[in-house]
Amino acid sequence: MTADVRRDEEAPFLVKLFYRTGAFHRPDEFGPETQLPYISIYTWKDCSLREFSHHLLGESPPVLPDPAIGTRLCFRLIYADTRARIDQPPRYVAKDLGSIVLGGGGPGAGPDEGVPEGSVDDGDRTLADGRFMTGDFISCAILPPDELTGDVMPASSARIGRGAGVGEAKGDMGSAPPPPQRSMDYGPSSGFRGRAFRGNSRGYGRGGGYYGRDEPSGRGNGLPEGEWRRGDRLPDLPQERGRWGR
Omega of the bond leading into 154 within 30 degrees of 0 (cis): no
Q: What is the pTM of this model?
A: 0.60
Q: How many of the other CB atoms lie within 10 Å of CB of 91?
A: 15
pLDDT, tens only, 37-89: 999 999 999 999 999 999 999 998 999 999 999 999 999 999 998 886 777 77
C-alpha distances in angstroms, 126 versus 11, 44, 55, 105? 17, 9, 15, 20
Name the residue ranges covered by the structural domains of the chain: 13-157, 181-226+236-246
Q: How many CA atoms lie within 13 A of 222 on its CB side?
A: 12
| Pairing mode, strands 137-143 and 13-21 | parallel
Q: For every one of its 246 residues, what pLDDT tens digit does the chain have, with 9 covering 90 and above?
A: 556 888 888 889 999 999 999 999 999 898 777 789 999 999 999 999 999 999 999 998 999 999 999 999 999 999 998 886 777 777 899 999 999 999 865 443 444 444 455 455 689 999 999 999 998 999 999 999 998 998 999 998 887 555 555 545 544 433 443 444 444 443 444 443 434 434 444 444 444 443 444 444 444 455 556 665 656 666 665 555 544 444
> In angstroms, rounded to a whole number, what is the distance separating the alpha carbons of residues 76 and 53?
13
CATH number of 13-157: 3.10.20.550
Give the C-alpha separation, 127 to 119, whole Å: 22
